[in-house]
Amino acid sequence: MSARRQRWEIRPPAPADVRERLGLPPLLATLLYQRGLLDPAAASAFLAADYATGLHDPFHMRGMAEAAARIAAAIDRGELMAVYGDFDVDGVTAVALLTQAIGAMGGRIRPYIPHRAREGYGLNNVAIGQLAADGVRLLITVDCGISNYAEVVEANRLGIDVIVTDHHHPPAELPPALAVVNPKQPDCAYPFKGLVGVGIAFKLIQALARYGKRPANLRGRDMLDLVALGTVADMGPLLDENRVLVRAGLIALNETARPGVRALMAAAGLAPGLIDSGAIAFALAPRLNAAGRLADARRAYELLLAGDRETADGLAAELNATNRERQALTRQLQARAEELVAQSGRAEQPLIVLASPEFNAGVIGLVAARIAETYHRPVVVIEQGGETSRGSARSIPGFSIIDIFDQCADLFVRYGGHAAAAGFTIATAQIPALEQRLLTLSRQYLRDDQLAPRLMIDAVLPLTELSWELYAGIQQLEPFGQGNPQPILMAPNVTAIDPQPTSDGAHLRMRVRAGNSVFEAIGFHFGRLAEALQRYPTIDLAYQLAVDEWNGQRRMRLLVRDFRRAGGARNGG
C-alpha cells in the first residue's frame, strides 16, 4: 500500500508505430499518445496551440449572433447596460473583461457582482429591481443565469432585455432571455464545449468586433491575461480552444501592464516572466477568490481594473490578508468536517453529506474538495441555516454530480454546476431527504472500483535518466491543468536521504538518490511520514518535475505525489 493508500496504475507507453509516426522523443510521444494524439498533424496542432489558427468562429455558438447584434445596437443608441457575474474568479474576470471592452467600444456599461452571503449565487430579483430603477435596459450575465428562469421573467417584466452567457449545465427549460449563449445548450454546434465564463465573454468580444465594435486602444491579446486567470481558476479543461487562450494568456499575463495584476503578483511573491498555470491555480486565483469567499468580490474586480499602482497595492494587500483568513478558516472547518465523518461513520458510505451551522458558505466548496480527496468519494458540505441552507459538492472522476442533482431538482430552491462541482440552496427541512436520495442514487450509479483511489502514472522514469533536455520536452505540453495534467512519473528503488518535516509539521523535505543522481524533493501534506521514511528509506517514488530559479541559477527538484516500499508491483498495487 502506498503512502496515500492508492493503487498505482502505469499507463501504457506509445506503441512503436505511433512513436515512429510522431517522430518525437519516446517520453513526449508517449505523453501525446496518452492524450489521444496519434497522428503528426494533431500532435503538432496541440504542441503549437497557435492563437492565429486555433480559435473557433464565435458565430458557431448558438445565440451569439443575436447577443452581439443587441449589444452593438445598445452601444449605438447609448443604452445603459449592466454585466452581472458570479463572485468567483471566473465571474469576476468575465465582468472585468466585458466592462472594460464594451466601455472601450463606447458603450455605457456598469458591473454588478452579487455578495455571496447577502445575495447568493446567480440573478436575484432585488438586484434586478435596482438595476431597472437605475435605467438599465440590457442585462448581460456572465458565468451565471442559465438556471434563473424566474429572474429573467422578472427582468423582462421590468423592461430589461437579458442576454445569458454561461457555461454551466443547462436545465431542461432554458430562461426566456433574448439570447442564451452556452455551448452546452441543446443544438449548439460550437465544436468546443469546455469554455468557462470568461472564455465565452471573450468570444462575445470577438463577435462584437465583427459588428465593427472594436475597443479603442485595447487589442484582443491585451485582454487574454484575464481569460487565463479565469480559465485556470475555474479548472476549465486545458485542451482545444482553452489551451490556445491560456497559452496566449500566460504570455499576456507575464507582460501585463495592469497595475492590479502586477500588484497581485508582488503580493504573492511572484515575478513577471515566471507566471505559469500553476502560479495562477495556487497563488493568484486563491487571493482573488478570497474576496468573494469571505468579503466582497467587488474588491477583486476593483483590483483587476485599478488605474494606478498605489491603489492596486492597497487592494492586493487587503486580498492577501483575506486569503490568510480564508486559509485558517478552511483548516478549521476541514478538521471539523473530518470529526463529523469519523463520528457518524459516513466514511463507509459511497457519498458523504455533512451539514452543520458551523460551516461557512464561503469555504464549503474547499472543504468538500479536501474531504473528497481524503476519502475518494463525492462529498456535499452544507452550511445549515434556520430556514434555508447552502451547499457545495465536489465529485470524483467518472461521476457527474450535476447529473445526480438533476434527479433531486424537486428538493432544491435552486442549483447549478457541472460534472465535478455544483452548488445549491435548499430548505433546511429538506436536508435529510436530500441525503437519503443522494445515497440511493450513489449506490445505484457508483461502482466499487470508482471508490478505490488510483494514481495514474504516465511513465516509469528512473532518476538517472532525468535531464534538462527531457524536462524541456515535457514543458512543450504546458500549460498544465484540468484535462491536461502535469505528467506523473515513477522512479523505482530510490533512497530517501534525511527526510524531515517542515517547521509546521505539515510537509516533507528530503533528498532522493539513485546511483549518482541526487535531487531535492518536497512532499506536500506528507510531513507525518518523515519518521517512517527514516526507518525504511528505500522506496518507489511517484513524482512530478519542477524547477527552482534563484539568482539566475536553475535547479531541478521533485514534487512527491506518492511513495511506497521499493519492490511494489510494477503495474498496480
Ordered by where they begin, the domains of the chain are 7-45+454-565 (2.40.50.460), 58-219 (3.90.1640.30), 345-451 (3.10.310.30)
DSSP-based three-state secondary structure for 420? coil
Per-residue 3-state assignment (H helix, E strand, C coil) for 208-260: HHHCCCCCCCCCHHHHHHHHHHHHHHCCCCCCHHHHHHHHHHHHHHHCCCCHH
Cis peptide upstream of residue 479 (ω within 30 degrees of 0) = yes
Check residue 567 and give its pLDDT.
78
Q: How many Å apart are CA 251 and CA 240, to the nearest integer?
A: 18
Check residue 467 and give its pLDDT.
95
DSSP-based three-state secondary structure for 426? strand
Which residue in 183, 268, 253, 185 sits closest to 223, CA to CA? 253
Grid coordinates representing 128?
A: 434586478
DSSP-based three-state secondary structure for 393? strand
Blockwise average pLDDT, block size 10, the chain, 573 residues: 90 95 95 94 94 96 98 98 96 98 97 91 94 98 95 98 96 96 96 97 96 86 94 95 97 95 96 93 96 94 97 97 95 95 93 96 95 94 96 94 95 90 95 97 92 93 96 95 95 96 92 96 93 95 90 89 80 45
Check residue 573 and give its pLDDT.
47
Q: How many Å apart are CA 196 and CA 142, to the nearest integer?
A: 10
Q: What residues contact residue 527 under an 8 Å CB cut-off, 6+ apart?
A: 501, 502, 504, 505, 506, 507, 508
CA 305 to chain centre: 22
| Distances from the Cα of 465 to the Cα of 221, 345, 460, 462, 490, angstroms | 39, 46, 10, 6, 12
Q: How many Å apart are CA 520 and CA 556, to the nearest integer?
A: 8
Which residue in 400, 412, 536 sits closest to 121, CA to CA? 412
- The DSSP secondary-structure symbol of 9 reads E
For the chain, what's the residue count? 573
Check residue 554 and give its pLDDT.
87
Place of cell 470529526: 339
Q: How many Å apart are CA 274 and CA 108, to the nearest integer?
A: 37
Check residue 568 and give its pLDDT.
59
Check residue 506 and give its pLDDT.
87
Grid coordinates representing 195?
A: 469554455
Query: Facing residues of 181 across strands?
Result: 165
Give this prediction's pTM.
Answer: 0.91
Q: How many Å apart are CA 124 and CA 117, to the nearest integer?
A: 13
CA 198 to chain centre: 12
Q: How many Å apart are CA 531 and CA 272, to the nearest integer?
A: 39
The values of phi and psi at residue 414, to 5°, are: -155, 155
Check residue 220 and give its pLDDT.
74
